[in-house]
Amino acid sequence: MTATFINRQVDRDRFVVKLQHIDWTFCALLAAIAGVGAIVLYSIAGGSWSPWAAKHLILFGFCFVAMVLLATVDPRVWFTAAYPVYGVGLLMLLAVAVMGHSTMGAKRWLDLGPIRLQPSEIVKVGLVLALARFYQGLDPSKARLSWRLLIPAALIGAPAALVAHQPDLGTAILIAATGGLMMILAGLSLPLAGAVLAAVAAATPVAFAFVLKPYQRARLLTFLHPEADRSGSGYHIIQSKIALGSGGALGKGFGLGTQSQLNFLPEKSTDFIFSSMAEEFGFLGCVSVLALYAGVIYLGLRIASNAYSHFARMAAAGTIITFSMCVLINGAMVMGLAPVVGVPMPLLSFGGTVMITMMAGFALVLSAKVHRYSEVGSGRGSIV
């Protein structure tokens, strides 16, 4: 009886110590971004918590608690779960291809009774874990250039191809870019990486002519000349630019954004929420939110660089790479600097699966901080 009590007390003490090692500044930045998202969602709903703002806050609160708890999990558990999580994500993508739910011409969702999941979001976390586990035991010289690099290439290519087939070209590019950057971070030969990029660039015209679907080709052409079809394929980006520009330096004011309030701006709660925010809070509001994103990226990379375990470094860095790419792609999209693709602004946009998987990734980052000196598996490797 006494021994059981002592063991429980020790476990509680260890848990408290782990909580003390969590980077609460990092957590505060995440909460600030989600809070701004709730404010914008409340405003564009006409000053109502329904249908977006309340759900956004409740889900973030649940995910925040889960993130903190998962951050106390030993990295060896994440290491063991890496390939199974990746495998489950891949199987779900295959299930989408067979029996997925179609929305607006794209089959991207799985209906599981009361919930609907987007497996392409889940596989992002699975890919980061799988690549981190692969590189944990790989000699740095082999990570630079060897036949073994065909394995991470396959790990990246399989989900990217399945997601592109849905079709979801934006997420497929995000998955490929995240995987490629993780390979470079692990030590991939830069000349080889440059050769791959050159090959992709050379194949782009062929893919445009024979691989992309007609609407995808139209999106790319619209990106170059949106004014050619103002009421059709160019409508989204034109309305987004109007919202961005009309906000000016300080914005029109809370609840006074005409493009969003009058529903001229499409997907105002998801893909184009940054435009909704820019219209009401202006350039100053945009810079402030981007500063929050920059803070998350900086602290995340610092945590990754200080982790002793190569697995923890790669997992944390991979999560931050995914997060950064989402911010970059969505920001460029709403400003007309990139084609319109279905990549939301993380934590700001409304969306269940995106929120859950992104916060699970941040749990990996915090776990790398809490277990900074823990070793995982065999071999340390190095991040170059």
Asked, as a colleague might, if the bond just before 114 is cis with ω within 30 of 0, I would say: no
Q: Does 164 reside within a domain? A: yes
Q: Which residues, 6 or more positions from 41, have their beta carbon under 8 angstroms from its beta carbon?
A: 52, 53, 56, 269, 273, 350
Question: Which range among 135-144, 156-165, 193-202, 204-213 shows the weakest confidence by mean pLDDT?
Answer: 204-213
Q: Does 93 reside within a domain? A: yes
Q: Does 381 reside within a domain? A: no
| pLDDT at residue 382 is higher than 50 | no
Q: Does 15 reside within a domain? A: no
Pick the more confident residue, 317 or 211.
317
Q: Does 3 reside within a domain? A: no
pLDDT of residue 380: 41
Domain that holds residue 194: 24-370
Pick the more confident residue, 296 or 145.
296
Alpha carbon distances (Å) from 284 to 251, 261, 279, 281, 326: 8, 20, 11, 7, 21
Contact 363, 320 (CB under 8 A): no
Q: Quickly list DSSP for 173-191.
A: HHHHHHHHHHHHHTT--HH
Q: Does 1 reside within a domain? A: no
Q: Does 4 reside within a domain? A: no
Q: Does 6 reside within a domain? A: no
Alpha-carbon radius of gyration of the chain: 22
pLDDT of residue 65: 96
Q: What percent of the chain is helix, strand and coil (3-state, nearest 5)?
A: 70, 5, 25
Structural domain total, the chain? 1
| pLDDT at residue 209 is higher than 50 | yes
* CA atoms lying within 13 Å on the CB side of residue 225: 5
Rounded to whole angstroms, the Cα distance separating 70 from 165 reads: 33
> In this structure, what token pair is assigned to residue 279?
């219209």
